[in-house]
Amino acid sequence: MRIKIETEEIVRVYRLLEALNDFFHQPLNFEDKDTVMRFAQKNYPEIRELYYDTIWEWLPEDIREKIRDSENEADISENPALI
């Protein structure tokens, strides 16, 4: 199955992955809580939007349903009280 993805959206994902790679490639970044917090505050809005809106919309409905089902199964296995 083929899907259409806007070039602008692909570039946004690429830029985010680039920032993540640059940050995590430097182990010293992990040692400074302020550096981690600044990185998270700067990048989380883009992560959130790409994850919940952009990439989710790329997925065909049958794939979305499989993801929802697998999340529900994980919720139940982690919390049997949900049964």
Domains of the chain by residue range: 7-77
How far is Cα 5 from Cα 60, in angstroms, rounded to an integer?
12
pLDDT in tens, 12-55: 999 999 999 999 999 999 999 999 999 999 999 999 999 999 99
Asked whether 59 and 67 are in contact (CB, 8 A), the reply is yes
Q: What is the pLDDT of residue 82?
A: 44
- How far is 59 from 83, CA to CA, in rounded Å? 28
Q: Cα–chain-centroid distance for residue 47?
A: 6
Q: What are the tokens at 69?
A: 């089902």
The pTM of the full predicted model, rounded to 2 decimals, is 0.78
CA distance 19 to 14: 9
